[in-house]
Amino acid sequence: METEYGNPSSLHRMGFQAERTVELARKRLAAALFCEPSELYFTSGATEANNLALLGCAAAHGRRGRTVVTTAVEHPSVLEAAKELERQGFTVKRLLPGPDGYTPEQFAGAVDEDTILVSCMLVNNETGLVFPVEEIARAVKRRNPGIFFHCDGVQGFLKLPLRMRGSAVDMLSISGHKVRAPKGVGALYIKKGVRILPRTFGGGQQQGLRSGTEPVPLIAALGAAAEVQRGRILEELDRYRELKARLLSACEGIEGVTVRSGEDCAPHIVSLSLLGVRSEVLLHFLEGRGVYVSSGSACSKGRGSYVLEALGVPRLDADETVRVSFGAETGPEAVDALAAGLREAGASLARQR
């Protein structure tokens, strides 16, 4: 910000320096995703990346087919973009989990000749549920090789090993603020040869797909985050597993606590509820003890969590559910503080339903 404030599109030395910084970040991100730097487009975050993927793909291939398949538990930035596609005349299928959860066979059964795009997240942001994305992508392409596959990878990026080279995933969205980079930056990976149309029009930056002067400091930070963390994913995954096991074993001794995130979930997100305590009340109670969790069901006034509803969690239980996420700074003492907070909250706040 202070020394390289040139515009990466400028032809003078300051501009060239800024461009080099952007390109270094692109290389670092590419190394973390095992892809080519030219396959990455910086955006203002994953909301924009998801919108670009869905709307840009539909705009490019809408003449060939008019159906898009996704899940009912995607982030609003996918679900709302899908609604926009419906307004444009596309048919959108939103899959609910079957008896065995979400399976590749279920996705394969939902696509047909008219399907141009399938969008499925890697890790659900409310429950940590991991989708078998690679298998799903392969299964739908076996049914219809013309399908493009998009993945909202926000909650899995730098948390689970990802390798785009050789993957059946054509597009992947990521966000800076989930990986210790600042808010306001993200990226869309688009496999070489996959054509989508821009949804932002202007100066033609980033191969014309995402016009706008690149926010050099934010991009540099995203590149740095990728560089620092990409070699530590497995180590951190083990640490998150230990933290989750510690939390689960503490919760076994606390009356009224139900942990919803099982073996099929990534270990850094744990969804749990405390019987008789509404999630907002619990959130503020824990906040008073220096523990910050999110209320999974606080999406909009009076409405419960559509994710928990889709996953079959009864409304009353959903209203008492909070989401706990572990990050690089979360240690065992934070888990112990959470467990102590849950115990106290259960003893002092729980009401009979």
Binding residue for ligand PLP, selected from 67, 106, 175, 229, defined by CB under 6 A: 175
- Residue 106 touches ligand PLP, criterion: CB under 6 A: no
Binding of ligand PLP by 320 (CB under 6 A): no
Q: Does 269 bind ligand PLP (CB under 6 A)?
A: no
Q: Does 47 bind ligand PLP (CB under 6 A)?
A: yes
Closest to ligand PLP by CB, 25 vs 46, is: 46
Task: Check binding of 186 to ligand PLP (CB under 6 A).
Answer: yes
- Among positions 30, 33, 40, 46, the unique one binding ligand PLP when judged by CB under 6 A: 46
Closest contact distance (angstroms) between CB of 239 and ligand PLP is 21
Should residue 150 be labelled a site residue for ligand PLP when binding is judged by CB under 6 A? no
156 binds ligand PLP (CB under 6 A): no
Token pair of 238 as six digits: 């083990």
CB of 183: closest distance to ligand PLP in angstroms? 7
Which one among 8, 45, 104, 341 touches ligand PLP, defined by CB under 6 A?
A: 45
151 forms bridges with which residues in the sheet? 172
* From candidates 19, 134, 152, 320, binder to ligand PLP by CB under 6 A: 152
Q: Which of 121, 222, 293, 334 binds ligand PLP (CB under 6 A)?
A: 121
CA dist 165 and 138 (Å) reads 14
In the complex, minimum distance from the CB of residue 266 to ligand PLP, in angstroms, rounded to a whole number:
12
Number of neighbours of residue 243 by Cβ within 10 angstroms: 21
29 or 121: CB nearest ligand PLP: 121
| Annotated catalytic residue 299 | yes
Three-state SS string over the chain comes to CCCCCCCCCCCCHHHHHHHHHHHHHHHHHHHHHCCCHHHEEEECCHHHHHHHHHHHHHHHHCCCCCEEEEECCCCHHHHHHHHHHHHCCCEEEEECCECCECCHHHHHHHCCCCEEEEECCCECCCCCEECCHHHHHHHHHHHCCCCEEEEECCCCCCCCCCCCCCCCCCEEEEEHHHCCCCCCCEEEEECCCCCCCCCCCCCCCCCCCCCCCCCHHHHHHHHHHHHHHHHHHHHHHHHHHHHHHHHHHHHHCCCCEEECCCCCECCCEEEEEECCCCHHHHHHHHHCCCCCCEECCCCECCECCHHHHHCCCCHHHHCCEEEEECCCCCCHHHHHHHHHHHHHHHHHHCCCC
Structure tokens at 36: 């080519």
State the Cα–Cα distance between residues 194 and 147, nearest whole angstrom.
11
Site map for ligand PLP, 123-142, x if CB under 6 A? --x-----------------
The length of the chain is 353
Residue 70 near ligand PLP by CB under 6 A:
no
- Separation between Cα atoms, residue 251 and residue 262, nearest integer Å: 13
Compare residues 300 and 352 and give the one whose CB is closer to ligand PLP.
300
Closest residue to bound ligand PLP by CB: 45
- Report the residue number, 152 or 319, with the smaller CB distance to ligand PLP: 152
Strand partners, 70: 94
Cβ of residue 214: shortest distance to ligand PLP, in angstroms?
A: 16
Shortest distance in whole angstroms from residue 78 CB to ligand PLP: 7
Out of 26, 28, 61, 75, the only residue in the binding site for ligand PLP (CB under 6 A) is: 75
Nearer to ligand PLP, 156 or 304 (CB): 156
Nearer to ligand PLP, 76 or 290 (CB): 76
Asked if 77 touches ligand PLP (CB under 6 A), the answer is: yes
Which residue number, 51 or 279, has a Cβ lying nearer to ligand PLP?
A: 51
Q: By the criterion CB under 6 A, which residues form the site for ligand PLP?
A: 45-47, 75, 77, 121, 125, 152, 154-155, 175, 186
The catalytic residue positions are 299
